[in-house]
Chain A
Amino acid sequence: MLLIAGVTLIVMAGTHNLRHRQMVMQKAQQSEVQLSPASSGSDPSEDPAAKALLGKPAPSFTLVDLDGKKVSLADYKGHPVVLNFWATYCGPCKLEMPWFQDLQNKYKDKGLVVLGLDQDDGMAVKEVAAASKRVGVTYPILMPDDKVSKSYQLSDYIPETFYVDKSGKIVEQTIGAHSKDELEADVQKAIASGGL
């Protein structure tokens, strides 16, 4: 009788220990998942919004350019369009922008349009104009609007770029600075897609 009770106690203790170890392991795994992103830099490709609009129609918008003129995405219907979200404080953006200018010049005869959508908060138009001039771009720069940021599901980091084909569909969506070759490959994708 005593032997049976002893064995039962040992089995119960073992089961309890196993459950406890499983709980500890589970908590440790949860902690690991929670803590790892904070110890390293961002990985924008892991953001769920990174490709959220891929394959969907580019949300329409009307914004004002540096001259106060209204510019709508619909104005460029039938053209491949690059929508590059940038800001004056963003070093990686200023690295890419002259490359977008070069690509606009190179693929002008293919109808390529590049639009720079500024994301500075509360910056005067003349300051944005001075910054874009300094960066060396002549393509249209559009002033910010929260509605556009929301419709394009932007995160709080830039640059973010959408490549829209001639039919108005987003064929590529990228976050962060990319090499000129990568930008050109994405531009070519937009040019090649959506033909009528």
Chain B
Amino acid sequence: MVAQEIQLGSASGPHKAHVDLLSDAVEVKAGEAQVVELRFRVQDGFHINSHTPKDELLIPTALQLNAASGMKIVDEQYPKGSTFRLPLDKTETLDVYQGEFRVSVRLVAPKGSSTLTGALKYQACDNAVCYPPKTLPVVVAVTGR
């Protein structure tokens, strides 16, 4: 309860984050390429560009992962975005993530406990304003069985 209040309190500040990491631990079969889904949630009322925005001037959402010792990151697969139109824009649409979205990461993990670390780079807007690009730290405990 206290942790939740602190999280939401900071989100109402001037330099708030707009995306939360929902995954904190995954289990995989050790020593084999496995796909794990990292779950993120864009906060209500906001959207972020998908990994493949339509306009090259827009900043794509991108996950940058660091391979821990004994772990190998094979690749990442991003979900398709949804179509979004700014209320004042009668002509163009955007390709965005809203609500929960999942990035699939194919990795090979060692037996035992290790940690997947990295960062999600994104840039958020709402219907009328945009916020500077932000970086969300990603830390996920990986258990290889």
Q: In the assembled complex, which residues on chain B have CB atoms less than 8 Å from the CB atom of A35? A: 5, 8
- 8 A Cβ contacts from B1-34 to A: 5, 8-9, 11-12, 14-16
A134 and B11 contact, CB distance less than 8 A: no
- Give B78-115 interface residues, CB cut-off 8 Å to A: 86, 88-89, 94
We find that the number of chain A residues with CB closer than 8 angstroms to chain B is: 33
Asked whether, in the complex, the Cβ of B58 is within 8 Å of the Cβ of A91, the reply is yes
Residue tally, chain B, CB below 8 Å to A: 30
Pick from A31, A88, A175, A177: contact of B88, CB below 8 A: A177
B65 in the interface (beta carbon within 8 A): no
Residues of A within 8 A of B12 (CB): 34, 37-38
Q: How far is the CA of A54 from the CA of B131 in the complex (A)?
A: 23
Contact (A175, B129) CB under 8 Å given A35-B8, A40-B44, A91-B86: yes
- Contact status A91-B132, CB under 8 Å: no
Q: Is B45 within 8 A of A41, CB to CB?
A: yes
Of chain B, the residue at the smallest CB distance from A90 is B130
Query: What string of 1s and 0s marks CB contacts (under 8 Å) between A136-161 and chain B?
Result: 00000000000000000001111100
B57 touches A38 (CB 8 A): no
25 A-B residue pairs with CB within 8 Å: A34-B5, A34-B8, A38-B12, A38-B16, A39-B45, A41-B46, A41-B126, A42-B46, A42-B128, A42-B129, A88-B57, A90-B129, A91-B86, A91-B89, A91-B130, A92-B128, A95-B86, A95-B88, A95-B89, A157-B129, A157-B131, A159-B129, A176-B127, A176-B129, A177-B129
Extra 16 A-B pairs, beta carbons < 8 Å, given A37-B11, A91-B125, A92-B86: A35-B5, A35-B8, A38-B11, A38-B43, A42-B46, A89-B59, A89-B132, A91-B58, A91-B86, A92-B127, A92-B128, A121-B132, A134-B57, A158-B129, A175-B128, A178-B88
Q: List residues of chain A with CB under 8 Å of any chain B CB.
A: 31, 34-35, 37-42, 44, 87-95, 119, 121, 131, 134, 155-159, 175-179
